Amino acid sequence: MMHWSLKRQSSWVQLAGHQGNFQVSKGGEVLKLYSELEAKCLDSLMRDPLRPFVPQYYGLVTRGEHCYIRLEDLLNGLRRPVIMDCKMGVRTFQEEELIKAQTKPNLRSDMYQKMVKVDPSAPTAEEHEQKGVTKWRYLQWRDTTSSTSTLGFRIEGIMMEDGTVQRDFRKIHTLTQITEALLYFTRSQLDTLVNALRSSEFFRKHEVIGSSLLFVHDHSKASVWMIDFGKTMPLPDSKEVQHGIPWVEGNREDGYLIGLTSILTALSQAISLAEGQQEGS
């Protein structure tokens, strides 16, 4: 997910991956390592109905040997926020990664070790012998062993007010378990987001893979942001995706709306549960 400063120019939040991709900047900005695909997506989104749900994109800047994307600091002005990252969609791999794994497999020992660390029985006998798995195989395994494949999203991490980070959500599969993890967040922002997605030309014409919803709230306000577009691919001319039907190889569907529907259902249950607890106390 994205990194955001907890206090400007000080503490950094890392709920999941991409170490070294960010730098602190002044003036309520953060710098993310340049990706041509993500820069193009952000430029398009600045003129799309989804604009209110995306960090402000300020263009590019060069620091030393690296080029960075300049983005709005989503935590600017918040005091001791609670933050949650939800990876959206029924899959986190691109179809091109599947084709590459089938035609030119590149075995990754680091991903094999990550898999074995979680579940020694997960790799096949051949993968154990090779001590390596393809990137697609690892991503597909993570999707099928989490709520990604069943609910269309998974929780990557939550940071609490005291700065502690919880990342061990791999075993969360059911809506009840998800609901328990969402008790801190509100639904109103998501209802507005759903309406924006329905009217977004960008959303209709892009395959949204590996993107996250970032939930942020403190004692004064709550916000929901769409982040991470480094694997979001434009579709061929005239082709559109529905985002709400199952993926099969070749249809380019990502299941984004399946995940969003699951989150809305879970939040409704969370709100009802919280209200019931208040009435009973």
Could you tell me the end-to-end alpha-carbon distance of the chain, in angstroms, rounded to an integer?
A: 37
**What average pLDDT score do residues 128-143 get?**
95
Give the pLDDT confidence of 205-243 residue by residue, as tens digits: 999 999 999 988 877 777 889 999 999 999 988 899 999
As a whole number of angstroms, the distance between CA 276 and CA 154 comes to 26
Residue 181 clears pLDDT 80, i.e. is over it: no
CA-nearest of 22, 103, 112 to 68 is: 22
Residue 16 burial class via C-beta count within 10 angstroms: exposed 0-12, middle 13-18, buried 19 and up: middle
Mean pLDDT of 243-260: 96
- Read off the pLDDT of each residue in 170-189 and give the average, rounded to a whole number: 68
Query: What are the boundaries of each domain within the chain?
Result: 22-90+152-279, 100-147
Residues 6+ apart with CB under 8 A from 214: 1, 2, 4, 74, 83, 84, 85, 86, 224, 225, 226, 227
| Mean pLDDT, the chain, integer | 84
Residue 266: predicted pLDDT: 85
CB 182 within 8 A of CB 82: no
Q: What average pLDDT does this structure show over 18-24?
A: 55
Quote the percentage of the chain above a pLDDT of 70.
84
**Top-level class of domain 22-90+152-279:** alpha beta
